[in-house]
Amino acid sequence: MNKAIHGLITLGLAVGCWWLWAMLKLTASYMHRGPHHPPAYTQFCVDLRTAFVVPPILALAYCVYVWIRRSEPRPSWAGFFAVTMGLYVLAMLPTLVAVWLPMVQFIELAARK
């Protein structure tokens, strides 16, 4: 059961990172369509979107380690869950800010017209 939970946590992290990557990909696709440039922070985050591949790969490596080793008497998935979800939240917050900044800029420009 412990090994299956590790796999589900890794799958959840991978899906979450994929969604964050997709949000930044969509932001990159409409970033340069208008006459105004997006905020520099948004450009920086969009350029770093390939870094979302690293957390699921590290989680998968630890998952393989857990699957190969002998089982322990107590389940160790709670710490793994805390670390992966903490990492996900730390990646999600800057991504959400980077996605919302162009929207705020668009609303400001629309209010001026």
Is the pLDDT at 31 greater than 80? The verdict is no
Query: Which among 67, 57, 56 is positioned nearest to 12, based on CA atoms?
Result: 56
CB-CB contact of 2 with 77 (8 Å): yes
| Residue written as token pair 């710490």 | 79
Query: For the segment 48-61, what is each residue's pLDDT rounded down to a tens digit?
Result: 999 999 999 999 99
Instruction: Report which DSSP code applies to 75.
Output: -
Alpha-carbon distances, residue 15 vs 11, 22, 63, 70 (angstroms):
6, 10, 16, 28
Q: What pTM does this model have?
A: 0.83
Average pLDDT over residues 76-93: 92
| Residue written as token pair 């932001």 | 27
